[in-house]
Amino acid sequence: MTPLQRLKPAFWNLPDDPGNHSGLNLKRKWKLIVLLTSILALSPLIIMTLVDFNLTRRTIETESNTRMLSSLQTLARIMGASLAENPSTACAETLWQKAFHQLNTRRHNDLFLIDAAGDLVTPSFHYGRDPGLNALDPRLLTQTDGILDLQTPDGTAVLAGYVKITGTPLTLVQLRPADWLKDLWLKPRLKLLWFLCVSIVLIVLSIMGMATYLVNRIHVTERRRIEALHHEEHANRLASIGRLASGVAHEINNPLDIINQKTGLIVDLLTLKKQTRPDPRVLPLAKDVLDAVKRCGTITRQLLDFARHMEPSTEPVDIEEVISQVLALVETDARHRGIAIRVPPIPAVPGFECDRSSLLQIFLNLAENAIIAMESKGVLTIDVSIQKTGYVTISVADTGKGISPEELPKIFEPFYTSRSDRWGAGLGLAITYGLIREMGGDITVKSTVGKGTRFVLTLPVKAVRQTASDGSLQLPKSDIPVKTANENNIQGAAHVTKQ
């Protein structure tokens, strides 16, 4: 599993989220956890970064302006002292050239002198090469020194530092591009931006991982709760059916006994009394009635036997008897569909113990699924074998349409069903898996599309009951051992036979 797959919740792509059955919207919870936690975690980091950017920019701008103004003031004092001795224009130009080279104005673009009227005394890169031009901002003449934001005649935004030379009408002006400070503070901040981006990614990934873990736990707990409720409901339903079957069987047995006795009496009377000559059709008809009563008695005994084992308890169980009981319940449906049921000789399994009702439910679920998968025509095979390791293996195979490799890993998930009708709730195999795990056993699947499916149950001979840590029914996990068969090991038949 890749790291990105670990961040994705297990329920994200499920077509039917168990959380929805209880009104929970787990996807919405996951999104809210990620969103709100990300906002709370990232807001201070982003705000601190913005404040740092702003403070750093202001600090560098203030320091740079102070340095530029200090340099101009130093040059102005030197030039003022020299001009006091020789106030000629030639001397001013000579001093300007020295200052020009000293301040490296090629890098900072412009340095020039202006007089009290604002006219150029020395050439300017932005304002012209000829002295006497006056196109400067009048604010340069209002104070003795300062820093101003200006625009040159060609529209270039510049930062102007100016200082009046003491004892002269001249003002020393230096122009720098307004954006020249970006290189001083932006490049170091870009490294901080990379650090910020990496930190945000790591924090968001951590939040997503935490949210995925928490919501997955909610999802698993909810699945267990719903599965346990459905299992309990199913068990209660079976118990109710058992009680109903017991009551119906007793109620039917009473009139059957009367019919059996009265019909037998009629036969005896007609047979023993020689003076009457009965219609020759009466005795065969009476025998038919007795046969029908006998058949009804067999059915009621099966109902009573079914009801007797509905309460969960660990007891010695005859596997062949349980299989026969299950086949008695499904053989009518199988016969109508033209499905043959094959049961090879079942070996005796001495000492086999389990919950009879659970084993009955397991076989009934698998047999019904097999019959539904075949729809019409096919063979249902139930085979039992004993392993030397103290386990018994039971296989339930059909010659139905099979299960695709894409669906095979999902068949034991609660609420997953491949049936197109609305009768399939998707809980049969999930409950079957949980019951088998409770018994301490295991189940594997082999299937070939178009050829059939084989379920193989491995159960311990001695009962071993396993439940989840919270006492609930164990749920299927994503690592259920499912396999796809490459060979066709399921034989087909067209006629209904039973071995």
* pLDDT over 60 (residue 31): yes
Q: How many other C-beta atoms can be found within 10 angstroms of the C-beta atom of residue 195?
A: 11
CATH number for position 377: 3.30.565.10
pLDDT range class, residue 358, cuts 50, 70, 90: confident
Tell which of 128, 161, 180 closes a domain: 180
Cα 492 from Cα 181, distance rounded (Å): 86
Q: Is residue 4 part of a domain?
A: no
Tell which of 147, 180, 213 closes a domain: 180
pLDDT range class, residue 487, cuts 50, 70, 90: very low
Q: What is the pLDDT of residue 393?
A: 92
Tokens 């698993």 map to which residue?
Answer: 220
Q: Is residue 215 part of a domain?
A: no
Domain span at 134? 86-180
What are the structure tokens assigned to 495, written together? 């006629």
Q: What is the pLDDT of residue 220?
A: 83
Q: Is residue 185 part of a domain?
A: no
DSSP code string of 21-73: GGT--HHHHHHHHHHHHHHHHHHHHHHHHHHHHHHHHHHHHHHHHHHHHHHHH
Q: Please give the C-alpha separations between residue 158 and each of 24, 70, 139, 423, 445, in angstroms, as whole numbers.
A: 62, 18, 14, 80, 80
- For 265-292, the pLDDT digits (tens) are 877 777 776 656 666 777 788 888 888 8
- Say which residue, 409 or 194, is predicted with more confidence: 194
Tell which of 180, 214, 230 closes a domain: 180
* pLDDT over 80 (residue 426): no
Q: Is residue 65 part of a domain?
A: no
Q: Is residue 358 part of a domain?
A: yes
* Cα–Cα nearest to 320, from 370, 383, 242: 383
Q: What is the pLDDT of residue 191?
A: 78
Output the average pLDDT for the chain: 75
Q: What is the pLDDT of residue 499?
A: 41
CB hemisphere CA count around 331 (13 angstroms): 13
Q: Helix H segments across 273-382?
A: 282-308, 319-337, 356-374
pLDDT range class, residue 408, cuts 50, 70, 90: confident
* pLDDT over 70 (residue 88): no
* pLDDT over 50 (residue 56): yes
Predicted TM-score (pTM) of this structure: 0.45
Both 169 and 318 in a single domain?
Answer: no
Q: Is residue 135 part of a domain?
A: yes
Q: Is residue 438 part of a domain?
A: yes
- For 225-241, the pLDDT digits (tens) are 877 777 777 667 666 76
Q: Is residue 344 part of a domain?
A: yes
CATH number for position 122: 3.30.450.20
- For 201-210, the pLDDT digits (tens) are 999 988 888 8
Cα 310 from Cα 234, distance rounded (Å): 11
The tally of domains found in the chain comes to: 2
